[in-house]
Amino acid sequence: MTQQPFPAPLRKAEVGGIVAASLTPVTNAFRIDVQRLQAHLEWLVARGCSYVSPFGSTGEGPSFSVHEKVEALRVLREHGFDMGRVIPAAMSVALDDTVAMAAAAAELGCRALLMVPPYYYGASADGIAGYFAACATRLGGSFPIDVILYHIPQMSRAPFTAHLIEDLIARHGERIIGVKDSTGVELDTLALVRSFPRLRVFTGDDRVLPALVGEGGAGMIGGMPNVVAADLADRYRSSSGLAEPVAMDRAARRIEIVEATGGVVALKALKARMTNDPSWRRPMPPLLPLDAEKEEKLIAAFTATRFDFAAESD
């Protein structure tokens, strides 16, 4: 019997919960620091995350080559990380890069692939569908791994509309297992749940999570678990914790602080303070780390939300 080159797809129902869109630590030579990355991913899982999603927007995915990202994934597997918990992101507009990422993710046993649409030209729905079709063709006729569509039009300028999602499902069948809606628009996210009951719908925004889960959504794939994983996981597992007003207000305030202080670089500064490891402050160019004054204001504002840096440290 001929051995299948890729693992068989798992059930869609298995993908859900709190998925951390992982930060990517980098060396002073601006290379992926795989040792720190693995320690961080293990911390996220230990804190209750169902899966980890490296190399997306929060992970500065577009700033790394596909070769670098695939090599990091290979090292993670060699060092014993459970690749069944990994949902890497394909963030390139180059067809060859997306094909290489999908093939490697499947070969390495990753659970699924988070796939952004080709964004540079602000592609049409037909153009995006054509891109997916070309990827599948180069991969032997079909995707070898489950795909979660990454809807982030504020960055990509190329949305996954309802019509386009229907088209992709018609062409690629059960390999399209979900959508991550990073718009932060609650009504739009809930509309996806109602329109596509067979898909696993995720939000990228903690503030949308309670309503989404209440409607039967899958959970979240977002950046805030990088610092508050345990809190989010505990609330997700609780029958009423997600919608508890004080917890919701606190989560909203924390998101506002991070967004107002630089997003990814703010999360990296928080992680640096949590671990007492200044290497975490370093982003990839063209991003710059927070200066000392902004960082201290960030730490003070986060502490005011009753965040205990000592308790959340490694």
pLDDT of residue 7: 37
Query: Which residue stretches of the chain have pLDDT < 50?
Result: 1-10
Average pLDDT score, the chain: 92
The tens digit of pLDDT for each residue in 64-107 reads: 999 999 999 999 999 999 999 999 999 999 999 999 999 999 99
> 3-state SS of the chain?
CCCCCCCCCCCHHHCCEEEECCCCCECCCCCECHHHHHHHHHHHHHCCCCEECCCCCCCCHHHCCHHHHHHHHHHHHHCCCCHHHECCEECCCCHHHHHHHHHHHHHCCCCCEEECCCCCCCCCHHHHHHHHHHHHHHCCCCCCCCEEEEECHHHHCCCCCHHHHHHHHHHHHHHEEEEEECCCCHHHHHHHHHHCCCCEEEECCCCCHHHHHHCCCCEEEECCHHHHHHHHHHHHHCCCCCCCHHHHHHHHHHHHHHHHCCCHHHHHHHHHHHHCCHHHHCCCCCCCCCCHHHHHHHHHHHHCCCCCCCCCCC
pLDDT of residue 140: 96
pLDDT of residue 239: 60
**Domains located in the chain, CATH noted:** 15-239 (3.20.20.70)
pLDDT of residue 240: 64
- pTM of the shown model: 0.93
The tens digit of pLDDT for each residue in 108-137 reads: 999 999 999 998 888 899 999 999 999 999
